Amino acid sequence: MGETAKDLAAQDRDILLALAAAIRAQIARCWPGQGGRAPAPDGTVIVDVSLNRSGTVRGARVTQAEGLAADQAFRANADAAHSAVLRCAPFSLPAEQYGYWRELTLRFHTG
């Protein structure tokens, strides 16, 4: 018998959870957390990342509202998060699941 939509959704969920754990573990070695910086105004920095199949970074950009760019605490945390993504590359992720991880939105908690 074939897989049902429910089976496929559960499979996708399991794959996404495993990938999130793998990415979190790899980023942890490069992200110093708050590291003595003041927290970002909303406590989070969001970085959109595009990866090549090899796990190298094709592109990474901080995606918060433009108004935060002038805030020194936000800028310091955004720079640290962006640098962490670049330092951690290449990411070691399953090639057969590239469709799941080629475009990522990473949230860095700063508070």
Q: pLDDT (tens digit, 9 = 90+) per residue, 16-55? A: 999 999 999 999 999 877 666 766 677 788 999 999 999 9
Tell me the HSE value of 78 on the side-chain side, using a 13 A CA sphere: 21
Q: What amino acid occupies position 103?
A: E
What is the predicted pLDDT for the residue at 55? 97
The residues near 60 (Cβ < 8 Å, ≥ 6 apart) are 47, 48, 49, 50, 82, 85, 86
pTM: 0.83
Question: Using an 8 Å Cβ cutoff, are 84 and 31 in contact?
Answer: yes
